[in-house]
Amino acid sequence: MKITVQKEMPLLEYLYANLDMPKKRIKQYLRHGSIFINNNKVTQYNYQLYPGMTIQIDTKTKTKTNLPFEIVFEDDNIIVVNKPSGLLTIATLKEKEKTLYHMVREYLLTKDKTAHIFIVHRLDKDTSGIVILAKNEKIKNMLQSNWNEIVQVREYIAVVHGTLPTKEGRVEQYLQETATNLTYVSKNNSGKKAITNYKVLKENNNYSLLQINIETGRKNQIRVALNSLKHPIVGDKKYGLKNDSAKRLFLHANRLKLYYAPLKKDLLFEVSTPHEFKNLVK
């Protein structure tokens, strides 16, 4: 089943309005990864549609054992996935099952009842993009203990408010946390050093599309760095504009390059920039 989008609207709302199908079944197709927007698998209910996009629904293949997001790479030791925005990496006190960890674990268990999974690194709930998980503790420890040495590229794409006067720059800061887990820039150079490099790829009167490379992996460092430049990330309710009406955080981990010891070579993982980023900066 293929549909051409005629009106700007969130995905689930559009499907409800345009499909002669029970709402429960539509949600099942989304949850099981059977819906594709412009050939990309989408599971987010609030994914923003724009006129001209194509929606394809796989109504024949049962995909319950598949992940509802892209697998970038998988072998006997690791699995690399493209995490959607709005999904927790690991469980919290309030949420145990709607997490990246739980979904990947369930997926692996359908193939191997003895499968294990370990988090190597995380992304914020609202940040999308590349996440690596290990299938055994040895690989997890090997990657984590040498993370800063083996990782050569940590690249993100972001859309920020406004146009930056300097189109390429480097932000060096020292970051600390409040008792409520809010990261802030230290005024006396105490705390953890954070280095964020940015380059403007495209801009219009209201927004700028940035390529970002980080040399350190501090909590919320990109969000804090861009906000300190007075150009917060679109959709950042925590560090950005309080009246921001964007449906998601416009921050996406699109490239990760590291030395992978089991294959004795460098691996580059790369995922495409979400359509909504490009649409905002036309």
- Give the span between the Cα atoms of 101 and 85, in whole angstroms: 14
- Dihedral sign for Cα 11, 13, 18, 24, please: positive
The residues, any chain, with a CB within 8 Å of residue 194's CB and separated by 6 or more, are 171, 172, 173, 174, 175, 214, 216, 218, 221, 224, 225
- From the candidates 20, 124, 126, 236, give the one annotated as an active-site residue: 124
75 in active site: no
CA distance linking residue 8 with residue 53, whole number of Å: 10
The residues that are catalytic are 124
